[in-house]
Chain A
Amino acid sequence: MDLVLNPVAAVGRGVLSACRTVGAVALFALQGLSHLVRPPFYGRLFLRHLVEIAYFSLPVVALTAIFTGMVLALQSYTGFARFNAEGAVANVVVLSITRELGPVIAALMVAGRIGAAFAAEIGTMRVTDQIDALTTLSTNPMKYLVTPRLLAGVVALPFLVVVADVLGVMGGWLIGTTKLGFASLSYLKATMDFLQTMDVVSGLVKASVFGFVITLMGCWCGYNSKGGAQGVGAATTAAVVSSSILILALDYVLTEMFFAR
């Protein structure tokens, strides 16, 4: 109704509320980070979340990375065969995986697993008064719930991306040698010769940023959920959707920052 009667006002309201949300998330992030330098520190929780993210996401990240590498080898071969440049397959695979697909695929997988889990866990704590209980038990809920998770995300994602890079390249190599007729050693040599430090580094920087975004959105959506089981469900969905969008949007921003470097 509004949209028909007064589109300008509706758009304005939308923009304002979006700004408010962005500001609130930014404040939340700053608050979470500020506890990094103020004791007490919850090392035990950090380790628990690190294992939860890094170790238990390994199977999904590994599988998706392998398949991505395999598909990439086939598709780039198809493309390059059209102008007789099949030899570039190894280069294209390693470049795409390290700079782009490793970080993005790993991050999207972790967003589904961890963003959802964090939002559901913290959201349930919110609607069952557990977050209020923390405050009455002399514990700062931001410091206890959010800070260790943010830190774990920033540390875990680069680790997962290293694994994804290696396995993605291996997937390409598998297809390259078994289906496309490359010699095993020359494929690997082409890969290593072509790879530059910056390719890997830019991928790892992306990974850390994505890890931060995933855990931040998971925590924020959970922390601000209200209204029982339905609210927690909505928070979980919002966490996954918003972090997935942010991952792809930030991927562009970061790619442009690292462009031609």
Chain B
Amino acid sequence: MDTKAHNEMVPKIRLRGLAKAFGEKKVLDGVDLDIRAGHGMVILGGSGSGKSVTIKCILGLIQPDAGTIEVDGRDILAMPRRERDELNDRIGMLFQNGALFDSLPVWENVCFKLLAQKRITRAKARDKAAEVLAQVGLAASVGDLSPAELSGGMQKRVGLARAIAAQPDIIFFDEPTTGLDPIMGAVIDGLIVDVVKRLGATAVSITHDMASARRIGDDAAMLHKGKIVWRGPAATLGDTGNAMVDQFARGERDGPIQMELRR
């Protein structure tokens, strides 16, 4: 068996029976999901359906109550600390609200992981930051600003630059286009597709935005009431034949998904 075929068979990330409750509230209730290596996976779902919690479990930021998470066929929940850290070194994350460090200038944000891993010196970090900022369409001079001085779109791009600077092979994007105007959203999507292709990385994105989902996803999966209720090619979104997904994709009020307006 050649490596390529093997890679196709073993998913990059495999979730089985992932469960997490906060107090009484079951957020994840047995999530099963395979994410193919080198492909873009888009996770859809209503607000508060546990999309962020799912990727925080994979990142090790939240400890799931039950289930397994495998990366490259290895159970990361059972991994020793050191291996887990090494795996973490190869993962990038763009947080929903950027989560830029406001006490540091942009260049230090961008090179934070490279500096933490001692892969570059502080003296070289500014130039490196300029290089990465250029990849997300920002001028080198942005590097000297503080994150608070940036617009929403620029913050997203700096967040993206920070997520890719250490050349990860898995990248998570939590709502990369939420809160941006449609054109800036398309720009960010374009950047994401570019960098993911260039790094040959596996990309896992969360989004509510169907146009964005079709642009950045090869595969899509829908999370509803703590479970994956559908998965299929992202290109078919809006016309999948699954009533729930189609309702969500078309943004219709009536359908199988009833929003709980009162709790």
- By a beta-carbon cutoff of 8 Å, the part of chain A in contact with chain B is 40, 121, 125, 128-130, 132-133, 135-139
Contacts and interface: CB of A to CB of B under 8 A. Distances in A.
Contact of B60 (A129, A135, A138, A139): A135
B97 interface: yes
Contact of A132 (B99, B103, B162): B99
B116 A139 contact: yes
A130 B59 CA distance: 14
Contacts of A130: 99-102
B103 A121 contact: yes
Interface residues of B, number: 25
Contact of B88 (A128, A129, A133, A138): A138
A128 B91 CA distance: 20
A192 B101 CA distance: 50
A138 B61 contact: no
A145 to B, nearest CB: 10
B56 A137 contact: no
B96 interface: yes
Contact of A128 (B61, B93, B97): B97
Interface centre among A128, A129, A132 (most CB of B within 10 A): A129
Contacts of A128: 97, 99
Interface of B: 56, 59-61, 85, 88-89, 91-93, 95-97, 99-103, 112-113, 116-118, 162, 166
A132 B95 contact: yes
| Residue of A40, A129, A137 with highest tally of chain B CB at under 10 A | A137
A40 B117 CA distance: 10
20 contacts: A129-B95, A129-B99, A130-B99, A130-B101, A130-B102, A132-B56, A132-B59, A132-B95, A133-B95, A133-B99, A133-B100, A136-B93, A137-B112, A137-B113, A137-B162, A138-B88, A138-B116, A138-B166, A139-B113, A139-B116
A149 B132 CA distance: 31
Contact of B92 (A129, A132, A136, A139): A136
Given A40-B118, A135-B60, A136-B93, 11 more contacts: A121-B103, A129-B96, A133-B99, A135-B59, A136-B61, A136-B91, A136-B92, A137-B112, A137-B116, A138-B116, A139-B116
Contacts of A136: 59, 61, 88, 91-93
Contacts of B103: 121
